[in-house]
Amino acid sequence: MEKENVSNGGIVIVYTGNGKGKTTASLGVALRAIGHGLKVCMVQFIKGEWHYGELNSLKKLEPDFELIVAGKGFIGIIDDDHAFEEHVRAAKTALDIVEQKMSLDIFDIIILDEINYAVHLGLLNLGDVMKIVKNRPKHLSLILTGNYACDEIILLADLVTEMKEIKHPYKKGIKAKRGIDF
């Protein structure tokens, strides 16, 4: 499909907050973009060792969508058997991958999934992330997801949405559901 008449200026989007839906919102933008003939890359900074349903479905969007799972999994949960330094190395590798993908100049949107949380946890330096955002090609849109978006990132962004948890089934003892949560 040929690219439709779309703006050649990219924007910076931040999806943050303690509610569910940040990655899902970014994937919604990806679906819309692919429908217009755009190319999207998602680099996951934290998620990594669990099998999520989107890993299967996103393969169906290739070659217009590229997913790179670079994280070592969520930090400090029951099955986290990685040293903190391993998580730091994985996050830095993910940031390097984003820079490489930006330099290829083939993507219209790059999603930096859970990057806000990676900064909050101390896996990445805020200055390094801000450099990526500030130095992106002007036609490239970036989507930064994850809890705890820094004020500095929010100021750089063109669109910021905060997902707010009102109610969550986990608090009633309901475990994560396949197809809903993973």
- Phi, psi of 8, deg, nearest 5: -90, 5
Band the pLDDT of 77: cuts 50, 70, 90: low
Residue 3 covered by a domain: no
Residue 24 covered by a domain: yes
* pTM (predicted TM-score): 0.88
Give the domain range for residue 35. 17-172
Residue 154 covered by a domain: yes
Band the pLDDT of 86: cuts 50, 70, 90: confident
First to last CA, the chain: 30
Residue 159 covered by a domain: yes
The CA-CA-CA angle for residues 80, 111, 58, to 5°, reads 80
Output the pLDDT for position 54.
Answer: 78
The residues with which 18 forms a beta bridge, in sequence order, are none
- Per-residue pLDDT of 147-180, as tens digits, reads 999 999 999 999 999 999 999 888 888 888 877 7
* CATH number reported for the structural domain that contains residue 101 in this entry: 3.40.50.300
CA-nearest of 30, 35, 1 to 110 is 30
Domain count, the chain: 1
Residue 2 has pLDDT above 60, yes or no: no
Q: What are the DSSP calls for 129-151, one per residue?
A: HHHHHHTS-TT-EEEEESSS--H
DSSP assignment letter at 170:
G
